[in-house]
Amino acid sequence: MNGTMELYGDLFAELNRMQQGLEQPFWPGGTSSIRAMSRRTFPVINVGNTPDAIEVLALAPGVDPEDLKITVDKGLLVIAGERKDDAPSIDENTAVYAQERFKGAFRRVISLPEDADPTRIDATLRDGMLRVSVARQEASKPRQISIH
């Protein structure tokens, strides 16, 4: 391993240790790494691109389309909504042993690249997977110039 990798490895290890120390009093267990997502983040998202569009996939099981709101403003794509609590009501005869499923309001903000076209956005929700496709502006697509 070269010296640069050792330096960064040590740096990340130290930052992980510091983060876990700060989180421990508030969230026992915390996140496993500064590069890991918080367990309290919902929905989990993947962002990528193709030559024609920026693609956002959000895993949102249990969220109804009418409980979702997608907006775009000043280069920011916002996915907001609410995941309702569908657990049985708790009374004196009911005990909950674990409650890991997220419920409540959520909001994720994704910064879009400059070549995103905010007028051409398509969104679908199927089987708990929200897919948002933001088209790229035509002028920004690579094209080959012919030489005469």
Residues 17, 64: one domain? Answer: no
Note the pLDDT tens digit of each residue in 11-36: 767 777 777 777 677 655 554 444 44
Cβ within 8 Å of residue 46, ≥6 positions away = 56, 57
Domain span at residue 17 reads 1-37
pLDDT above 80 for 5? no
Note the pLDDT tens digit of each residue in 99-141: 777 788 999 999 999 999 999 999 999 999 999 999 999 876 6
Q: Which residues pair with 66 in a beta bridge?
A: none
Note the pLDDT tens digit of each residue in 66-85: 999 999 999 999 999 998 87
Q: In whole angstroms, what is the distance from residue 29 CA to residue 20 CA?
A: 8
Residue 109: how many CB atoms within 10 A of its CB? 10
Select from 48, 35, 118, 115 the least CA-distant residue to 78.
118
Residue 96 lies in a domain: no
Average pLDDT over the chain reads: 80
Number of helices (H) and strands (E) in the chain: give both, helices first.
Answer: 1, 7
pLDDT above 60 for 58? yes
Residue 7 lies in a domain: yes
pLDDT of the residue at 38: 52
pLDDT of the residue at 129: 95
Cβ within 8 Å of residue 145, ≥6 positions away = none
pLDDT of the residue at 52: 93
Residue 90 lies in a domain: no
Residues 122, 55: one domain? Answer: yes
How many domains is the chain partitioned into structurally? 2
